[in-house]
């Protein structure tokens, strides 16, 4: 977004109430006040599940600011921090985000309910913030952030945006499988492997059903 010059990819995988989020990117702003440029990153939720285009630039300064883009990607639901809290309160915890031009982020944590619901409904959007002010119009480069007037607009404006689309993994069964009184822990772990594990469970279920039918046939 905003001609940031960066690109990247992100993923989110559910494991019960835990989510593992990965975000990797390169090509973003390198330095801010002689330190690594802090790139705030969030899961935005409850919007249209889309990334805004240039037409969202309401004030015409050439930058789609974070609030200007909100009708498309929604509000901050989760702060993808490197440590500590991940709630929306940490949205601007600049000390706890990856810094510098590139990052390879992975974290597993308990995703709050609002964020989990939004992701499952297809309106979760990953946004990485922070633009190099030298690439902006003079007006935008001088402007304060609409989120925090102690920061420049460039520090908080969106640089990368990607809408999460749901995959087959969402079809993972929520209940337990009756394993005949034994522990289901092993089975639950197999589900997490993904589609391969799911296929195995389905096949075993069908086999057991056929066997029961045959048994009841013999009894009759
Ligand atoms: Cu954000």
Give per-residue pLDDT as tens, 177-187: 444 444 333 33
pLDDT at 60: 95
Q: How far is the CA of 161 from the centre of ligand 1 (A)?
A: 9
Residue 24 has pLDDT above 90, yes or no: yes
CA–centroid distance, 49 to ligand 1, in Å, is 13
Centre of ligand 1 from the C-alpha of residue 167, in Å: 23
Alpha helices in 8-88 (DSSP H): 66-73
**pLDDT number for residue 89:** 96
pLDDT of residue 198: 28
Contact between residue 81 and residue 96 where contact means Cβ atoms under 8 Å apart: yes
Q: How far is the CA of 194 from the centre of ligand 1 (A)?
A: 29
Q: How far apart are CA 23 and CA 101, in angstroms?
A: 13
Q: With bands split at pLDDT 50, 70 and 90, how would you rate the model's confidence at 166?
A: confident
Coil, helix or strand at residue 91: coil
| Mean pLDDT score across all residues of the chain | 81
Q: What is the 141 CA–ligand 1 centroid distance (Å)?
A: 19
Task: Compute the distance from residue 15 Cα to the ligand 1 centre, in Å.
Answer: 24
Report the distance separating Cα 108 and Cα 180, nearest Å. Answer: 32
* pLDDT at residue 86 is higher than 60: yes
Q: How far is the CA of 91 from the centre of ligand 1 (A)?
A: 7
User: Looking at residue 147, what DSSP letter applies?
Assistant: S
**Ligand 1: centre distance to CA 138 (Å):** 23
CATH architecture of 7-166: Sandwich (2.60)
Q: Where do the domains of the chain lie?
A: 7-166, 170-219
Distance between Cα 110 and ligand 1 center (Å): 19
Tell how far the Cα of 158 is from the centroid of ligand 1, in angstroms.
7
């Amino acid at each position: 977004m905003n001609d940031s010059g960066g690109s990247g990819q992100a993923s989110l995988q559910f494991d019960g109430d835990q989510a593992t989020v990965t975000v990797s990117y390169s090509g973003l702003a390198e330095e801010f006040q002689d330190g690594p440029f802090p790139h705030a990153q969030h899961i935005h939720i409850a919007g249209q599940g889309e990334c805004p285009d240039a037409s969202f630039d309401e004030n015409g300064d050439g930058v789609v600011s974070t609030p200007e883009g909100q009708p498309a990607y929604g509000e901050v639901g989760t702060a993808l921090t490197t440590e500590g809290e991940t709630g929306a309160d940490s949205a601007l915890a600049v000390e706890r985000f990856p810094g510098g031009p590139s990052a390879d982020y992975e974290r597993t944590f308990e995703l709050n309910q609002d964020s989990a619901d939004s992701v499952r409904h297809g309106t979760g959007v990953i946004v990485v913030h922070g633009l190099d002010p030298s690439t902006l119009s003079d007006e935008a480069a001088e402007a304060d952030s609409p989120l925090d007037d102690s920061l420049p607009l460039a520090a908080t404006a969106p640089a990368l945006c990607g809408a999460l689309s749901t995959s087959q993994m969402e079809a993972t069964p929520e209940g337990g499988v009756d394993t005949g009184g034994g522990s289901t822990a092993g089975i639950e772990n197999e589900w997490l492997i993904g589609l391969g594990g799911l296929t195995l469970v389905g096949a075993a279920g069908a086999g057991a059903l056929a066997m029961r039918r045959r048994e009841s046939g013999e009894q009759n």
